[in-house]
Amino acid sequence: MIQNYNSWSVCISSDIELNFLIYVASTYDLLKEDINENNLWPSRQRVESDELHQKLEIQWKWFWDRSIQQKAHKNNHHVSFVLGLPDFELVEQHELREVLVHLWPSFRQWWYMPAGGQAAMNYWEGIPDLIRYVQEFEDEVGRKIKPFHLNVDLIYNGPNELIEVTEEYIIMPIKVEYLMKRDWWMSRFTERY
């Protein structure tokens, strides 16, 4: 977490469960949003029938929306979705639960390998030079930045655009135009703080 004890903090992290849900959606082509087609992760799998695919889309979307709202409304965004790993017994939708159980071992293997998901995400968490951006913003506007707290969960793949769940919680793809671009951060500071 990067913070100025007087006025602001930004916590950039990667949540394993959030990334797992994106992994599941990417594997079974469940995302309706504009997704990053350049990533070859993970390998796509076909669902047996169109009816089952449609059911999975609906179940996944409902579970995704519920999960990110739950995280957003807990002041600490480091809360579990209560998936009930590794059996997912707390997931009520039978079809979705079966898919989660099926994909968990391959995701877990990828996430924890030495050059896998967790290592990549740890690298990206430290990329933004937020202290410098805030100092430059304050110099440009001639005042201290307004107090704020921002939680950013990084996702490895999935939607091309960030998802602003609330003003204090966003889900951001690991993309240079968000993490490394001073202009994006300065624009956010100008609009909100």
Q: Can you give the pTM of this predicted structure? A: 0.84
For residue 181, give its domain range.
2-192
CA distances from 19 to 54, 110, 157, 162 (A): 21, 11, 8, 14
Give the model's pLDDT for residue 129.
87
Q: In what order do the strands lie in the sheet with 8-14?
A: 2-4, 8-14, 148-155, 169-173, 163-166
The pLDDT confidence band at residue 159, using thresholds 50, 70 and 90, is confident
Using alpha carbons only, give the angle 16, 65, 193 rounded to the nearest 5 degrees. 85
Q: Which helix (H) or strand (E) holds 188?
A: helix 182-192
Rounded Cα–Cα distance for residues 171 and 164 (Å): 6
Give the model's pLDDT for residue 24.
93
Give the model's pLDDT for residue 100.
94
Number of domains in the chain: 1
pLDDT in tens, 19-78: 999 999 989 988 876 565 555 566 777 777 888 999 999 999 999 998 898 888 876 555
The pLDDT confidence band at residue 113, using thresholds 50, 70 and 90, is very high
